Amino acid sequence: MGRRLVPITVDNLQDLPARCRGCVFWELDPVRGRAAVEAGEAERQKEDWVSGLLLEWGSCGRILYVDEAPAGYITYAPAQHVPGSLSFPTSPVAPDAVQLVTAALLPRYRGQGLGRVLVQTAAKDLSRRGFRAIEAFGRSGSPWPGTERSRGTGSGGEGSAGGAATGEAGSGEAGFGAADLGGGGFGGGFGAGGCMVPADYLRAVGFRTVRTHPRSPRLRLDLRTAATWREDVEGALERLLGVGAAAPGLRPV
């Protein structure tokens, strides 16, 4: 199978699941976010956010394609461009860190180590750009009130009843990403529950907790001191993309 990772731009935003294209939980403050969703302007606001970041800072993430089909994605940005994060009791993100905003895999691609590769790719990109760390608000415990995800309606595995991720045991993928790739609350386009990476997953790929909370701990991955992490990144990307040799079957990393 062919696999490639592509920077997120306005031109390929349509390859994100529809619910994610219309989710502005992180990109806008709560008042503007609710207004955008209720006015049907959420997708345009998302495009404006991506476009503004491209001009001012660079690409805000990566999309993973498997055999040219979108399989998953990860987004990240400086915290000042993520006003939704200020709603969390464990905010703010440290000034020397970039925020991992969200990440998700379609259910049929879980259990193959691809979620870990998405996180590793973000780490490699940000390390090369001179950043010291990545921080994220993890999902822990019960959902936030009013943010329980609804049953997905898309075809091809975009949704799942109850929003439970279905990774393979032992792969480190269980519970990865935005579960059913949906939002929560206001029409599936504004809410924390479906937009947060599970805290246990973040810990499994090297993050450590820097501020505890029963629902939204803040976690950190230090990039400049993680030499073994960088080596792991290179190895994982070589396995993913088949660099330097005949590509073996992809294995969990």
Domain containing 84 — which CATH number?
3.40.630.30
Residue 77 lies in a domain: yes
When pLDDT is averaged across residues 38-55 and rounded to a whole number, the result is 96
Residue 251 lies in a domain: no
Residue 247 lies in a domain: no
Q: Which domain holds residue 165?
A: 3-241
Helices (H), ranges, 58-180: 114-128
When pLDDT is averaged across residues 29-37 and rounded to a whole number, the result is 94
Both structure tokens of 64: 């993973």
pLDDT at 69: 95
Residue 120 lies in a domain: yes
* More confident site: 187 or 172: 172
Give the total number of structural domains in the chain: 1
In angstroms, the Cα distances linking 89 to 19, 77, 85 are: 26, 19, 9
pLDDT at 39: 96
pLDDT at 157: 34
The whole-angstrom separation of Cα 253 and Cα 102 is: 20
Model pLDDT for residues 110-161, shown as the tens digit of each residue = 888 899 999 999 999 999 999 999 999 999 975 444 433 333 333 333 332 2
Residue 135 lies in a domain: yes
Model pLDDT for residues 188-247, shown as the tens digit of each residue = 334 455 688 999 999 998 999 999 999 999 999 999 765 555 566 555 555 555 433 333
Q: Does pTM surpass 0.85?
A: no
